Structure formats: structure tokens, C-alpha cells
Amino acid sequence: MSNNATWSEVQAVMNSKHDQLAAVFDSQSEVDSSVETVKDAGISADQITLIHPLDPHFNEKLEQESEKIGKSLWRSHLLLGTGGVVAGLIAAMLLVMFGPELTQNNPMFTFIALISPGLFIGLFIAGLLGLRPDRDEIIQTVRSAVRRKKFALIIDLKKSQSSHQIRKLLGSHSNIVVKAAQ
């Protein structure tokens, strides 16, 4: 796999391809009427996921691409960790060759002192890229609804579809509607 493909996978974790909406309902009839409403607005059936109360597999329904995200996180940590080591090596080499007397007289300590932070900074940046605080609200809302024996409806919107319009339609049937980037 080339570095460009790996970098695009890292960016896929950061950049959202589409939005995801979740709405919480008290009854199956409210869910059914909402599904019909959003289908009339142009949402296809494969974009709609229903989570029943006490559904033990709601996590898989909510995060359908978790394996792909995990692989991207693994690759981003490898790529950025390696980049940090290389940056540390280059900085240490420059200091050993052209730096102050202290770094020139102690090359081993200079390399250790700059490679270690380079590695940790690279891994830290990869971890920050993998954090998805925008997804936390939707996950917590659905988790809470499932525990309270309510229905949750998840809609995966495409870029061409208006999240504002669908959110407004869902809001007419549900008191709780949240949005997250997918």
C-alpha cells in the first residue's frame, strides 16, 4: 500500500462523508410514521436504521464501519509515529552536525532526547485525529434511549441531502433529534 492511500485513510477518519441523524421515539407507531415521512422526503430504506428497545446489538447498528475505522487508526498511528521518529532523527542529526558544543559532544543523548519526543508527538497527533467528539452526542443519545426502552431511528444522510430538512421532519415526531458527522 502506498503512502498516499494510507494518508487518504487517515483523512477519512477526520473528514466526514455524510451526516447522521438520530431521533428517539416512545412507540413503534411514531417510528413508522417518521419513516414514511423521511422516505417521502427522498431518504432510501438502506439509509434508515431502527434500533428497538433493549437491542443488544445497537452498537453494531450505530457504528457500522468500526472495522474500517480501526484499520485507519492503526495505519495513522504507524504513519505519524514513524513521521515523528524521522523528524526527531533529522533534528538530532542537524544538532549533532551543526549545533552547540553540548549536542556535538554527546550525539547518543541528543538522538535519544529528540527521537523519543518525536515518536510520542506523532502518536499523540494520530490519537487526536482519531477522537470523534462529534459522534459522542449521538452515541450517548441512542444508548440512553435503548436503556430507557425507547426506539431510536438513525438516518445516514448523503452530502446531497439536507440535514436541516430531515431534522425538521423528525422533530415534528420526536422531541430528541441529534446530528453527527459520519
Q: In angstroms, rounded to a whole number, what is the distance separating the alpha carbons of residues 163 and 155?
A: 10
* Structural domain contains residue 8: no
Helix, strand, coil % (nearest 5) of the chain? 65, 15, 20
- Element of type H or E holding 145: helix 133-147
Q: In angstroms, rounded to a whole number, what is the distance separating the alpha carbons of residues 35 and 155?
A: 10
103-112, 131-140, 157-166: range with lowest mean pLDDT: 131-140
Cα torsion through 64, 66, 69, 74, rounded to 10: -160
Residue 157 belongs to domain with CATH number: 3.30.70.260
* Structural domain contains residue 165: yes
Average pLDDT over residues 91-95: 96
* The total number of structural domains that make up the chain: 1
* Structural domain contains residue 171: yes
81 Cβ contact partners less than 8 Å away, ≥ 6 residues apart: 119, 122, 123, 126
Indicate the pTM of the whole model. 0.63
* Structural domain contains residue 125: no
pLDDT 10s digits, 27-49: 999 999 999 988 988 888 888 98
154 CB neighbour count, 10 Å cutoff? 21
* Structural domain contains residue 115: no
Q: In angstroms, rounded to a whole number, what is the distance separating the alpha carbons of residues 175 and 25?
A: 8
* Structural domain contains residue 167: yes
pLDDT 10s digits, 36-87: 988 988 888 888 989 888 788 877 877 766 777 788 889 999 999 999 999 9
pLDDT band at 17 (very low <50, low <70, confident <90, very high): low
Q: Bridge-partner residues for 151, per DSSP?
A: 25
Q: Bridge-partner residues for 155, per DSSP?
A: 21, 48
Amino acid at 29: S
Which structural domain range is residue 53 located in?
A: 15-67+149-181
* Structural domain contains residue 73: no
* Structural domain contains residue 61: yes
